[in-house]
Each structure stands twice: as C-alpha cells, then as structure tokens.
Amino acid sequence: MSEATLLEARNLRKSFLTAAGVFAGASRGAPRQAAVDGVNLDLAPGETLAIVGESGSGKTTLARLLLRLIEPDAGEIRFGGRDLLAARGAELRRLRREMQMVFQDPFASLNPRLCVEAMVGEPLEIHEPALSRATRRERVGAILETVGLGADAMPRYPHEFSGGQRQRIGIARALVLRPRLVVADEPVSALDVSVGAQILELLQNLQREFSLTYLLISHSLPVVAQLATRIAVMRAGKFVEVGVAEHVLAQPAHPYTRALLAAVPEVPA
C-alpha cells in the first residue's frame, strides 16, 4: 500500500441469498446474488471518490463493507496501512473512530428519543470516556456551530428540525470525533434541491476545514459533478469505469456511463 493511499480494497466480494435461496434454507447450493463482485479501490487522503450507479448496483453494500459494518465473503481492506479485516478489540475501535458515515435519510438515522446533545455526544462517550461532561458538551456545541446550527440546538429533539437541519445534525455526529474518512451515502437524495445544494456546499467547506477524505455514494451525476475528484461507475457489483471526474463526465468510455449521463438533462460545470 502506497503512503499516499488512505483506504485500499482488493478483490472485495459479497453475495446474499436470493429470495429463492432464502426459501431453500442455508444449504450449500442455495441461490445467491453477488452484490459486490471483485472490486478494487484506492482512496487518497483529501480526495472525494464518488461511486455512482443505479439502485441495486451494489454501492451501499460496498460502503458498508469498507466501513466493516458487514463482513465480506472474500478480499482485503486496508485503512491507513492497517489490515481492517484482521483488527479486533481496541485496535478495531481506534480504526472505527477514524471512519464515520453520513446516512441517506436524516429522518430515520436519528434517534427520536435522544436530544441533539446526547446524539452528537454519544460517539465521544464511546471513544473518549475519560472526557468530562463539560468538555464533551463544549465539543458538541463547537461542532454544531461548525455545521451551521447553534449550541441552542443541544436540548432539542429531532422532530423539532427540518430535513436539512437533521442532516446537519447527522454530519455533526459523524465529525465530532474528527475522523479521517467520511462515507456519505446519498446525503442529499431525501432533501429538496435548494436544501440539498446547501448541504453539498457545507460538505465542501468541511472537507477544506478538516482535511477530510470523502467516499460519496450517489446515483446523481449532478451531485457527483459538484463534489467528486474521481468517479467509479458501478454496475451489477463491478466497477465498469474509474477515472478523474472531469474526464468521466466529459468523455465517458463505457456505454453504461453514457446511459447514466443521458438520463439527466445537463451536468453542471
């Protein structure tokens, strides 16, 4: 692994039982469908790699594999030069704090029973238990200010916020540990266009401020055009095209990429 590589995956594979396989039980010959099929990936510090494809192409499964939220059937994952799949106990906890996720649905991803202070502060309780309550509160207030919400949001609950504000809370929760990698899974698809544009601008500003590396999951090429430095086009569990964002958007090499581009009226510069 190169020193210039933060995240590396080799020959990553994951399959699931099909509906027919579920009814067949756990027998060795039960039908399975490959969700991720031999993916190789390299992500350099500070860049934004966008994984683009239609629903069902394997994008979210790949993201969850890379964060080790689910286990692969085969392959290797290295993060910061360390073998992520071999990590256990304290080492795995150290790696997890450096890799955080922003989820697609700001309504479903927040616990309605917790106030904002508790939700955003929870990662600190888990990973930095020695922090005093006052210090933790100060850290939560600071990150809420950074994402465009005041510290007065701390005692309030998710139902009191709009969709865009809830996504800002989710981003604050992901960033409170100062991770190196943020995986954003369709971060604006549940928001209207104007609010989504504000969230994309926020993500760009945060990347500069905190030297973040992004893995962006999206089906939207306009979103990709705004944020990505590189694009990997995914179809049926495989990457069919990988390249610098400008080249892929301006001169797509694969028919599937051309079809995705043709599905939107215009890709903004």
Four-CA torsion 243, 244, 247, 250, nearest 10 degrees: 100
Reduce the DSSP state of residue 175 to 3 states and report it. helix
Mean pLDDT in runs of 10 for the chain (269 residues)?
80 84 56 90 95 91 93 95 92 91 82 93 92 95 95 93 93 95 89 88 94 92 86 94 94 91 63
Looking at every residue in the chain, the average pLDDT score rounds to 89
Contacts of 232 (CB under 8 A, 6+ apart): 41, 49, 50, 51, 52, 239, 241, 242
pTM to 2 decimal places = 0.88
pLDDT at 22: 52
Mind listing the pLDDT tens digit for each residue in 91-138? Answer: 998 898 999 999 887 778 888 999 999 999 999 999 999 999 999 999
